[in-house]
Structure formats: structure tokens, C-alpha cells
Structure 1
């Protein structure tokens, strides 16, 4: 059953001639159960084992839980699915991720329907809303309103917001809009004609180039326009040779090729940033530094600005408009301050003091009410640190005051920043005893990702489960398979 779930195999694989021959060769005495046994007995059984383990994890000492969510439709099965993934930082400062739901979402996708679905999901997993730190969603109005109606703190996916900024900038310059419209026509000519592609392949070989396919622009995939133009520019010589002998639905002039080259250089800033914030280790702390760096790059003049300067200006204005309040948003502000790689380095001077006040305003209540967390820290302290007599006495001393919290923050900010290539959680794992209140806040605020990539990757798994071989698979079975595949790592090291 693990083999079927982890490798996206249909249950019918146990009836395939090759698989049965393999099993017979390995152990002739073994009798394979029927496909029905695997689907009706083994799958629910392994699903329950994994679900019980996740229930135990969610009931453990977790400072706060962050979530990602999205809605997706399958190409081979006429169903919509609503996802919910969770991630948190455990007491040992390890990032833990789990897929909670990828469930059929029938009917209208209204805000009230989404809100009701979330209520049921949290009830299923016995998650109190007070433990929810943030929900990362797309920027659609129905999803935004649903989170507000549910009383959940949420913010839009940064990668999606960056793509909206690109969309705003591209259509601000007519000459570039024309180029963006021509490129898909050229790619589509070879995508829809095997003969045209074989001819292009022959040209590539004739020119001593490695045969490569052109990449298509897909509106729902971020940076696909960049990858399409990059593949076209790479095959510029081959396309020119092809156009000399065969017809193309559209061609680019020398000036337009120059625009493509400069536009690729401009888009590469967004592509690199999107890859970084979409990594599995990225957190909300990466938003302010990333946006600040992007703004600076878009403000600098470069030789490659020729022909795309209006678009570059529009990009900068779109980024400023869509990220205008992030330095004042506690979700991002506190996370950045508590990331030892960033601290207060990426805040403008006029807002740095205000950002610190936001952090202290959230720190003081936490220091005064989080008695349970303080007890946990003391237990770790007693177990691991017995060298210094003064520190042992401090365990039974008076409660820490707000002054000690401010002192912790001052010492933390005064120290040299952690190397950017290192893990922020590694720092807190080694220093949580020095800064106990800061460490507990870090467990909460660094748990939030800055994109909904986890949900989008989940939908890639959905497309592998609901494929041509399993297009009649019911949604309950599909969700069980996805759940087992994505969460098996939590119980199998």
C-alpha cells in the first residue's frame, strides 16, 4: 500500500503481469491480495495510522500553527479541491509540515462556503483558532473575505502578488505588449505541429546546437513568460534559419529581439526572487528584505534599460503599490526583526523605530502571560545548562520584567547578523536559552511561509493521482492517497 501511495500507482498495479511476476520471483509463496482489498482495506488503515500521528503532533507543545490554502480543478476529473496544509516550529526548533486536507469542494466558491469549509476542517483536527498564526492564500476576493469572516489572520501569497505586479507593468508599454503577444504564436506553431518541430530539430542539429523544445507560456504558472522568452532567445539563430525556408505565423524584428533580450534581464529579477521566496525553507521574514532589494534594483539604471525603461518604471510603481504597508504589518515586521539574518537592516530609517515599537508591543504581553512556555524553557535550561551558578539561581528568582525583555531585544539586535546562507531556526535552536521570550516569539512568527507554494505543490500531486489511469477514482480515495503520500515522512524516517 505504501508503494501504491508513494509512487502514484493505481490499485490495478497488483494485477499487472509484470508486477505479479516480480512478486512471484521474490517470494513464490506470497499470494497477492486483490486490488479491491488494497483500495477498501489497506488504504483506510494506513490513512488512519498517519492521521492519528498528526493528531498527536498537533496536540503537542506548539506555539502557533501557520497554514496555506488554495482551490484547484483537475484536468481529467470534473472536481474542484480545497487544500489546507499546516506548518509549525516544534520545541526543538525544527520546521514541521503536514498536509491536512485536499478535499472535494463542490458548489459555489463563495466566501461563505469557503469559510464554512474551514470551520469544519479545524473542527476535524481539533485546532482552536487562537493557535492559528496566519493563513497564506491567493489574492482572490472570495478567499480574502472568507478568511475575514472566519476571524483568521491571513495575507496574500507573495509569489502571486509579484506576478500581479509583472502583469501591471507589461501592459504599460505598447511595444512590449506586442512582443509578448507574438512570442506565444511562435511557440504554439511548433507545439501543435510535429512536422514543424521535426524541421526545427533538424535545423538545430545542422547549426551544431543541442535539440531543445520551446517553452510555452502558461498563465497560471509564475514566471512562465520569462521561461518562454528565454527559450526563444536561446533558439534565435535556429528560428531565423527556419523562417528562411518555412512559414511562421509571426516573426520578431531586430528591434523586437533587442526588446526581448532586455526584457528577459528585467524579468530575471522577479524570477530569482520568486524562486527564493517559494523555497520550502522561506518564511514571512523574507518578505521585507526581498521587496527592499527588488525596489533598489528597479531604481538603479543599467545598460539593459534601453527600450524597456517605461516598463521598469511601471514595475517599480506596481511593487511599491502592492507592498506599500509591509514594513508596518506586524506579521512581516516582527518576523524580520526576529530573523537573525536580517534583524533591522532592511527597514528604512524613518520607520525603523516604529517597527521596533511594534515588536516590543507584541513582546511585552507575551512575556507577561506565557507562563507555560517559560516553564518549558526553564526545564530545558535546567537540563542542559548547569555550568553557571548565577543562572541556576535565576531559575527560582523573580519573574522577568519588561525591562529584561527589552534588554534581550537590545542585546539580540546589537550582535552581528547571522550569515544569510544559514538557517534562522539553527540560530534559535542554539540561542533560545539566552533569549527565551524572543525565541518563543520566533517559533510563532517564523512558522509562516511567505507563499502558498505548499498548496500549489499539493495540486501537482493531485494531477498525478487523478490521471488517465485513475480518472474515475472517487474524491475520498484520492484524498486518502494524497494524504498518505505527503505525510508518510512524519512517521517513516
Structure 2
């Protein structure tokens, strides 16, 4: 940039005039467009009206010209073309960024051998030598994995109670099965809900309960996580997973989202009238999916009807949410489809009754879809299950005039819900978590006996927590480390500066009944006070409620940290495998299980570190 701009300012980058900083006069930049603007008029203005500044500008320009003409020494010229040593800080940083690109964008490790990528790196930094695939795989990847693992380990070790999600995935392009374990906990200081991928490990041989339990035990051992710290494991509903948790002696829960899927298939899509209408809809969508001509004709009709051009969505029969999306796309294009059917053949034609049935089916599926989205969020916990079921039961049991033709469908759905979730309120892992969620408390229990049993179970848990707190602190609710600092700050009773208040406290401590602070009356009073207060809005965070109220209800808050760390679904583990096909695809089918484990671990945890 010219030194003249030290004395002039532009209102915008495309302004035809420049403002003199000394006299505030606007001076033309010359030329008729941005491409031909110059600084000649600006220099003349400085020379004619500001002599001293012009001389300063002239000297600065002369110095700059001399420096540009200065000939480089031989070492300087050579260094500009010399390759960076592989162990230099800049080369190491570039290699680290290349690995981040591979991990975060699901690129194969072999991308470093691609001609286009190598040419790009050569252009961006000619002195950098791009390492081979072997170096990335054998050296850079393990080093990055080790660094991130150390950082995650620092976070996990401070967790007081942890819950896990577990899921198994098998590759369709190579003989590989992987077990993923995600850990969830509530930070005891900030009360933030956190989760990271703990490990993804290859399963050899049959996926028996013994092999699964062995792998999970090895995972926990690798991370130095005691079984006593494990609150629960949320798994899929397969019998081998359930038995594996039983063999480990760990409490486990089935995935709530998967159970909801079973309810929909058993109570809704199994209905003969509904399944026939959905099958017909599937044939219509398939007709346009497999015929480019039919698809083009439909788009022309959409344009004529002044509708947005949209393609119909094909469903996957094992995924009910895709069926919901397919029905929604059909109903949205109903006018265009009817116009198409008037002049062209369709494999089947939907009757008026079937259209009405599909619309009502979509409305019910939309409710399940919304519920599934809520419970599948990253902050959803087991506390959300009982309220969700209670709302679902009330919705399905309510009858109105709009239910004509689907009353039996709703009845069947309600029966499926009762069959799948009839004993949920009797499960302490769900009921206690619900009580400890300030958004729900005891308001969503449908039976008085289950509500009473849940409160009794909560009282027992709080009593246990009070014992733990009293063992680790002399003032309930204060961390032991903080209390040690307080003790160090107190004056010694052996000095003449001993205060009367410390003596009073000393005498009280000598005669204090160690069980006084743990009486059932105190526990019951704390629980009753908490439950009697108004619930917070559903949009508020239960974790932040306990952060604010931990000093009012110390034992309850500590119990909430334990029970609210459990997610309601195993979606976090399933989400990990949603990107597996990108990592282990046709280009990476020779990827070994240990390298795949590192890539998955970094894919999910590296963004947390980069933040």
C-alpha cells in the first residue's frame, strides 16, 4: 500500500474522492472507475498545500524503493526455496491441520497421496513436504489421539457419578463390528451436562454377552473408571446387551427412543388399513423415484400450479420417521399428484378415504416425531421419560370428533404404550430422576402408590448422600478441599489469640451427635420443601436450577448430579455411527479397527478440544 494513504481517508473503498486528513478537502482520485483510480492528484495536493508532509512522504517512498531494490544474500535467497524440516514448528503445525482436515471432514487417510491435494499444498506452502499416508496413519494420528485422550481424561476424572450409552455397529463393506461407549456426567462445580465419546472398540467373533461385557470392562479399566462410579448404562433393547450389563453388575436401561419405535410399529403401522395406505403411498413414490420422465412431468405440473418444485421422499420401512416424512411429502403434493393421475398412469391410486387416513396418520406420527426429537436432544435425561409417557397416554386416551376412522388406531397405540411402558414408574432410575427434575417433580406420576414409592426411594438416596457429604466435610454442602483451606486459616487453639467463638464451636463438636444431621425428619423436610415449591418452566435448565439452589438443598443437589447424568436414549452412541459410512466406505475398506477407533474418537471429541 502506498505511503500516501497516511494522509488521506476514503469514505468507502469505491469512493471517487479521498479526504485529506490535514485540511479535510476532498481530492479526486482520477479515472472513471475503481480499476483506473490512482494517487497522482493526492500527491500533487500534498505537494502544493502541505510541503512538510510531502517531504516526509517523499523520503518514506524513497526508503521503500531502496529496500525493494536491495539484493538478497545467497543464504536469504536459498532459504526462500529450502524445504522446511519435518520437525520444525511450522511443518508440525501444518501436519496437525492436515490431520484435522482428515478427521473433521471424514476424509480417507489416503487423501495425502492424491495428486490434487498434493498440488494444492505445494501451491499454498512450497517449502512444506506433505507426509506420506503411512506417517499420518502410524505417527500423526496416534499422537493426536493421545493428546486429546489426555485432555478428555482430565475432564472425566473429576466426575462424581457417570452414566454411559452403548451401541454396536457392523460394517457392510468390511468384516468389522464396533462397540461405542459414550460417557455422560454433570460437572459438580458448574452443573453443566457434559458428554464425550469414551471409546470405540472392535468386537471380534460372536457378539455374545460375555464378549460385550469383557470389552466394556476393559474400556472402563483403560480410563481408570471404577464400577462404583457408574450410575447406569443406556443400551439398545437386544438381549445380549441386557445380559452383558447384568453380568457386569451394572444397572441398565433400554433406549427410550427405540422402545417408542416398537410402539409405533406394533400399534400404528401394523394396522391393516394404515399399512395398506402406506404401501400404496410407497408405490407412488417409487414410481417417480425410478422414472426420470415421470419426475419431470410432475415438476412441470408443480410449476403450472404455482407450487414449489419438490421431490417426493422415499421411506425406509424400518424407520418410522422416514415414513412420516414420506406421507408428509405426498400430502403436500396432493394437488400435483391428482393432476398427474388425470393424464398419466400411476401404479396405484389413493382413494379419498386413504388420503384422509394418511393425513390423520401423519398427525399422530408428527406427535411421536416431536417427542422423539425432545428426548433425543443432547441434554435429555431419564427424568424426561415418565412425563413423556404420561402426556402420551393422556393424548391417546382423549377422544374427539376429529378421530373418526382412527379411534381403533389410537386405542391400539395406547395398548402398545401401556404394554411397553407400564412399569416405568416403578423403576427408581426413572422415578427418582423425575422427582429431582425441577420441571417435573411429582406432578407427572399417574398412580399415588408409585409416587409414594418414588419419594421413599428418593429419601433413602438423599440419606446416603448426606452421609457421604458429612464424611467429606464438616459443613454440609461445602467441598472438602475448601473446608481444609478454612481450617488452615483458623487460628490454633493452643495460642493466646484463641477466640471465644472457636471454643464454643470446639465444645459443640465434642458433644455433637454424629447422627443428628442425618435424621429422617431433616431429609423429609428438605424433600417436602423442594417438592412443595412451584416447578420451573420446561424451557429452563434443571442443571442450572441445582447450581443456583445447591446451598438450599445440598444433599438433594448432590443426588441430582448422580441421577440426572443418565440420558434417556442411546442416541449419542447411534449418532457416532451415523458418520461411520463416511469414514469406513469404499475408499477406506482396508482401515483397521484400531485406526477406525482413533478416527471416531477424534471425530467426536476433537471439536470439544478445539473450542
TM over 0.5: yes
Q: Secondary structure at the match of 2:199?
A: strand
2:178 maps to 1:81: yes
**Does the CA contact (< 8 Å) of 1:283 and 1:446 recur in 2?**
yes
Q: CA deviation at 1:192?
A: 2.8
In the TM superposition, what are the counterparts of 1:360-399 in structure 2 within 5 Å? 360-371=459-470, 374=473, 377-379=477-479
Q: CA deviation at 1:374?
A: 4.6
In the TM superposition, what are the counterparts of 1:142-291 in structure 2 within 5 Å? 142-170=240-268, 173-291=271-389
Q: Secondary structure at the match of 1:86?
A: strand
Q: 1:73 & 1:206 partners in 2: Cα distance?
A: 47
Q: 1:231 & 1:492 partners in 2: Cα distance?
A: 39
Q: 1:405 & 1:64 partners in 2: Cα distance?
A: 21
Q: CA deviation at 1:372?
A: 5.4
Cα shift readout 1:360-393 (whole Å, capped 9, x = no counterpart)? 1222223224445557941388799xxxxx9xx9
Q: 2:216 & 2:168 partners in 1: Cα distance?
A: 12
Distance 1:72 1:192, change over 3 A: farther
Cα shift readout 1:405-448 (whole Å, capped 9, x = no counterpart)? 22221221122211110111111111112211111111110000
- RMSD in angstroms over aligned alpha carbons? 2.4
**Does the CA contact (< 8 Å) of 1:265 and 1:304 recur in 2?**
no
Q: What's the counterpart of residue 224 of structure 2? A: 126
Distance 1:489 1:370, change over 3 A: farther
Q: Secondary structure at the match of 1:491?
A: helix
Aligned partner of 1:64 among 139, 156, 161: 161
Q: 1:371 & 1:417 partners in 2: Cα distance?
A: 29
Aligned partner of 1:450 among 560, 568, 573: 568
Q: CA deviation at 1:267?
A: 1.6
Aligned partner of 1:405 among 523, 527, 531: 523
Q: Secondary structure at the match of 2:544?
A: helix
**Does the CA contact (< 8 Å) of 1:63 and 1:440 recur in 2?**
no
Q: What's the counterpart of residue 104 of structure 1? A: 202
Q: Secondary structure at the match of 2:349?
A: coil
Q: Number of paired residues?
A: 485
Q: Secondary structure at the match of 2:184?
A: strand
Q: CA deviation at 1:287?
A: 0.6
Q: What's the counterpart of residue 139 of structure 2? A: 41
Q: What's the counterpart of residue 103 of structure 2? A: 5
Radius of gyration: which is bigger? 2
Distance 1:27 1:377, change over 3 A: farther
**Does the CA contact (< 8 Å) of 1:169 and 1:311 recur in 2?**
yes
Greater shift in the superposed pair: 411-420 or 436-445: 411-420
Distance 1:394 1:350, change over 3 A: farther
Q: What's the counterpart of residue 475 of structure 1? A: 593
Q: 2:307 & 2:469 partners in 1: Cα distance?
A: 64
Consecutive unaligned residues in structure 2, runs of 5 or more: 1-98, 487-500
Distance 1:164 1:373, change over 3 A: farther
Consecutive unaligned residues in structure 1, runs of 5 or more: 385-389
In the TM superposition, what are the counterparts of 1:299-378 in structure 2 within 5 Å? 299-348=397-446, 350-351=448-449, 352-371=451-470, 374=473, 377-378=477-478
Cα shift readout 1:58-77 (whole Å, capped 9, x = no counterpart)? 322x2211111111223433
Greater shift in the superposed pair: 159-168 or 172-181: 172-181
Q: Secondary structure at the match of 1:481?
A: helix
Q: CA deviation at 1:296?
A: 0.8
TM-score, normalised on structure 1?
Answer: 0.92
Q: CA deviation at 1:394?
A: 9.5
Q: What's the counterpart of residue 7 of structure 2? A: none
Q: Secondary structure at the match of 1:378?
A: coil
**Does the CA contact (< 8 Å) of 1:87 and 1:98 recur in 2?**
yes
Q: CA deviation at 1:134?
A: 0.9
